[in-house]
Structure 1
Amino acid sequence: MIKRIITILLLMVMIISACFAIAGCSRPKKNPGFALAVEYNTHAACAYVAQSKGWLSEKGYDQGAFDVYATGVALAGALTKGGVDAAYICLIPAIAAYANADVPIKIVCGTHKYGYALVVDPSKVSTIKDLEKGSVKIGCVREGGTTDILLHKIIERYGLDKKKVLGNVLRMNPAKQIMAIKAKKLDAVVVPEHFATIAEQKLGLKMLVKSQDVWPQMQGSVLIVTDRLLRENPTAVRDLFKITSMATDYINEHPSEAAEIVANKLNAFQEAVNLKEMADGNSDFDVTLDLLSCSMANLEYTTQIDQAEVQEVIDFMLQLGYIKERFSASDILLEQSHFTGE
């Protein structure tokens, strides 16, 4: 009797296996996973929206959570170590990783324009010229970061004394800049959104210069993929482009709903980027729907990217000595032919 049962079970296994071997009964194939990373700010809104809407899961990608980085510089560092396959990252650190660390990446599309600002304590800085005063302390990320390069653009645009302004700069990440200006240890900060709006709305400071004031059509962030992912899984790259386009359309068509999604994500990811640990007990990085709506309104969400604009960034970084040598923007931009077909 036992032998008969075993025989029947074996036959059932064989039948089931045969069934899955033929096309009509084949198991659905799940797309292989990949390491996707984002920055902790409103620049990565399309990624947060896509995750919340389940669009990655619908394509078969198991993306329950992102790797979240406090800054684009930190994310670029992860790229150099080979731990990231695709990322929503500011253009400038992406260029630096490609040009200085020889990280083999391609820019798939843009995600937004603008998204950075100079925010000041109006009691200490009333005009842009005040940045030259020796008593004024300015917060900014390390040399070569996006807001550092924006500061150089501000210096150039307003004819400021470069030596005097840079002599007043203290280097720290955006969260620490917000804490420092709140504690009156800084008088001005150059930060990305949403930190600029936090400084303006929560601390009562003044957004003196936005990136669009000094850099028309400035490319903010981009979606990048490694050459390995492009070579081994081109379908994943096409899917990411489609998902990014869907999320960007959603942001523009449903700004309030998108802001609520991003607000929830940023509040939830504070621990992931150690904001609580860096805080002094009095710092409040929680964001509301109203605050995020104002922040996101300072960006232009679009997947459009212009080769000439990317080249302008490359050339300005070379002028400042932040990349080793000039290269053509076409070398890093992915050809649109990769998005045709399924």
Structure 2
Amino acid sequence: MKRTALAAPAALLLLPLTACGGSAEAGDGKNVTITVGYQSKTINTVTAGTLLRSLGYFERDLNALHDGHTYKVDWQDYATGAPITAQMTAGKIDIGSMGDFPLLINAARGKQLGKPTHLVSITGYNLRGGLNTIVTSPDSKLASLTDLKGKKVSTSIGSAADGTLVRALQRAGIDPDKGVEKLNQQPAVGASALTAGSADALSQFVAWPGLLAFQGKAKALYDGAQLNLPTFHGVTAREDFAGQRPAVLEAFLKAQSEATDYLNTHPVAAAESVAKATGLPAEVVYLYNGAHGISTFDPAVKPQLISALEKDVSVLKSAKLTGDIDVDSFVDDQYLKKALGAEYTQRLAATPPAAASEVWPKGAEQTTAFKTPAELLSYVKKHKDGIRAAYVPDATTGTLWFADKAVWVADGDQLLPFVAPATAKAYVAAHGDARVITYADALGQAS
């Protein structure tokens, strides 16, 4: 077993937010409350939070246990993973969901305080890292990562979005500690800072970049999928809770699996449901959670995701947020295996759906997929007033983006979309006849 050590600054950072002890399971013995911490607006976690709560699957499965207890679920909504971790290690939350970097901090803090937690399932993931995006203001002159040198960049330190920023800057030859002025801000604060001009760029996780782009308040500067490193969100549970009530945890994971199936089978209805619960535009929710969205939902704990988690440790260590973390001991999928049975092996082998262009017509309860972006443009051109949203995958990374916010390139008869200007320019540089064009020109050229 590896030993987990926390650096002194990390120990200060991870001090409990509450001095209260006790168990999250409130009740009189027969009546038991299970407390679930989730992040409603972090829509990559909806199968363990917002959507699962609205469907009522967990409560249904708890009632089916017939173990002599009457269960109640206390759903607690948070903006980030940090307070969920604080409440878990204080014994106030039984099950929580958060992103990959916060999960590592969850593991480190639980180990440090003698209140171990475990990663028990995955909610949504992107194998290339497309869940995180760096954006700038719509009128910004910044066109590539190298332009960020000496600029103010807002992010949430310790988040996966910060990890994307650090790695992207390093690849661009910029020291992430000295080359930019990093502003440690909550996503909403960072979004306001970008709009107000007090930040030159914003590096954030789902769904903030897509939301700001949809609202016309930002444009993409860097697609996290360019890193080609998986990013994901997952479910963590307290070790003592899992040991005391394994059937309850298995009921949660079974319910999460059913919520995943619902999302994958009814993506438009799921997006509308999440939008109603969160106040986010359904078009933005669908960008990430749709049939060909940036996020793939599957509870299986895939090896490539755990491998990525191990690589993430070095980023947190360099930021002095944690010391060494024993990822192998943190990951525990035994409860998911028991909950899903033979289905678990099938889910482990499942792969993300192929990228595709999609149109969401106004008033429609389902979207229409197209084989190529050019075919989508042709449809949009003929139905301009009947389009609710149009989505296209980046020609190099596959990251879905809004068609009218993409950077378009004409290469002979091909019309190719890109999330960020730098990747579009790189394609043009490698293809002599290709050129960047406007969205209006792309529509005009569509047959």
For this structure pair, what is the TM-score category when the shorter chain's length is used for normalisation?
A: 0.7 to 0.9
**Is the 8 Å Cα contact of residues 86 and 223 (structure 1) preserved in structure 2?**
yes
Name the one with the larger helix percent: 1
Counterpart secondary structure, 2:174 = coil
**Is the 8 Å Cα contact of residues 100 and 324 (structure 1) preserved in structure 2?**
no
Please give the alpha-carbon distance, in whole angstroms, between the structure 2 residues aligned to 1:215 and 1:73: 26
Please give the alpha-carbon distance, in whole angstroms, between the structure 2 residues aligned to 1:260 and 1:180: 29
Pairs within 5 Å for 1:1-342 = 32-39=32-39, 40-46=41-47, 47-59=49-61, 60=63, 61-63=71-73, 66-102=75-111, 103-114=115-126, 115-121=131-137, 123-132=140-149, 134=150, 136-142=151-157, 144-165=158-179, 167-218=180-231, 220-267=232-279, 287-296=280-289, 297-318=293-314, 320-321=316-317, 322-335=321-334, 337-339=337-339
Please give the alpha-carbon distance, in whole angstroms, between the structure 2 residues aligned to 1:138 and 1:225: 33
CA distance 1:50–1:201, change in 2 (3 Å): same
CA distance 1:160–1:258, change in 2 (3 Å): same
**Is the 8 Å Cα contact of residues 36 and 75 (structure 2) preserved in structure 1?**
yes
Deviation, structure 1 residue 176: 0.4
Deviation, structure 1 residue 161: 3.3
Please give the alpha-carbon distance, in whole angstroms, between the structure 1 residues aligned to 2:109 and 2:237: 17
Please give the alpha-carbon distance, in whole angstroms, between the structure 1 residues aligned to 2:340 and 2:260: 19
What amino acid is aligned across from residue 154 of structure 2 in structure 1?
Answer: G
CA distance 1:320–1:94, change in 2 (3 Å): closer
**Is the 8 Å Cα contact of residues 134 and 209 (structure 2) preserved in structure 1?**
yes
Deviation, structure 1 residue 311: 3.8
Q: Deviation per CA, 1:114-140: give whole Å up to 9, x if none.
A: 4221111252321111111x2x21101
When the two structures are superposed, what TM-score results if normalisation uses the length of structure 1? 0.77
Q: Deviation per CA, 1:273-328: give whole Å up to 9, x if none.
A: xxxxxxxxxxxxxx222222124322122212224532432343235413222424
**Is the 8 Å Cα contact of residues 163 and 315 (structure 2) preserved in structure 1?**
no
**Is the 8 Å Cα contact of residues 56 and 62 (structure 1) preserved in structure 2?**
no
**Is the 8 Å Cα contact of residues 90 and 221 (structure 1) preserved in structure 2?**
yes
Deviation, structure 1 residue 49: 1.6
| Structure 2: gaps spanning 5 or more residues | 1-28, 64-70, 342-447
Deviation, structure 1 residue 90: 1.3
Please give the alpha-carbon distance, in whole angstroms, between the structure 2 residues aligned to 1:101 and 1:239: 23
What amino acid is aligned across from residue 260 of structure 1 in structure 2?
Answer: E
Counterpart secondary structure, 1:159 = coil
Counterpart secondary structure, 2:34 = coil
What amino acid is aligned across from residue 35 of structure 2 in structure 1?
Answer: A
Deviation, structure 1 residue 337: 4.7
CA distance 1:229–1:128, change in 2 (3 Å): same
Deviation, structure 1 residue 200: 0.8
Please give the alpha-carbon distance, in whole angstroms, between the structure 1 residues aligned to 2:249 and 2:327: 22
Name the one with the larger strand percent: 2
**Greater Cα shift, 305-314 or 222-231:** 305-314
Counterpart secondary structure, 2:33 = coil
Please give the alpha-carbon distance, in whole angstroms, between the structure 1 residues aligned to 2:133 and 2:83: 20
| Structure 1: gaps spanning 5 or more residues | 1-28, 268-286
Please give the alpha-carbon distance, in whole angstroms, between the structure 2 residues aligned to 1:77 and 1:307: 28
Please give the alpha-carbon distance, in whole angstroms, between the structure 1 residues aligned to 2:284 and 2:311: 35
CA distance 1:140–1:237, change in 2 (3 Å): same
What amino acid is aligned across from residue 339 of structure 2 in structure 1?
Answer: F
Please give the alpha-carbon distance, in whole angstroms, between the structure 1 residues aligned to 2:288 and 2:261: 18
**Is the 8 Å Cα contact of residues 107 and 330 (structure 2) preserved in structure 1?**
no
What amino acid is aligned across from residue 139 of structure 1 in structure 2?
Answer: S
What amino acid is aligned across from residue 57 of structure 2 in structure 1?
Answer: W
Q: Deviation per CA, 1:212-252: give whole Å up to 9, x if none.
A: 2214332x111111112211111111111111111111111
CA distance 1:326–1:49, change in 2 (3 Å): closer
CA distance 1:50–1:183, change in 2 (3 Å): same
**Greater Cα shift, 100-109 or 194-203:** 100-109
What amino acid is aligned across from residue 130 of structure 1 in structure 2?
Answer: D
Counterpart secondary structure, 2:251 = helix
What amino acid is aligned across from residue 328 of structure 2 in structure 1?
Answer: A
CA distance 1:331–1:180, change in 2 (3 Å): closer
Counterpart secondary structure, 2:256 = helix
Please give the alpha-carbon distance, in whole angstroms, between the structure 2 residues aligned to 1:340 and 1:45: 19
- Larger RCO (alpha carbons 8 Å, 6+ apart): 1
Larger radius of gyration: 1
CA distance 1:224–1:89, change in 2 (3 Å): same
**Is the 8 Å Cα contact of residues 45 and 234 (structure 2) preserved in structure 1?**
no
Deviation, structure 1 residue 101: 4.1
When the two structures are superposed, what TM-score results if normalisation uses the length of structure 2? 0.60
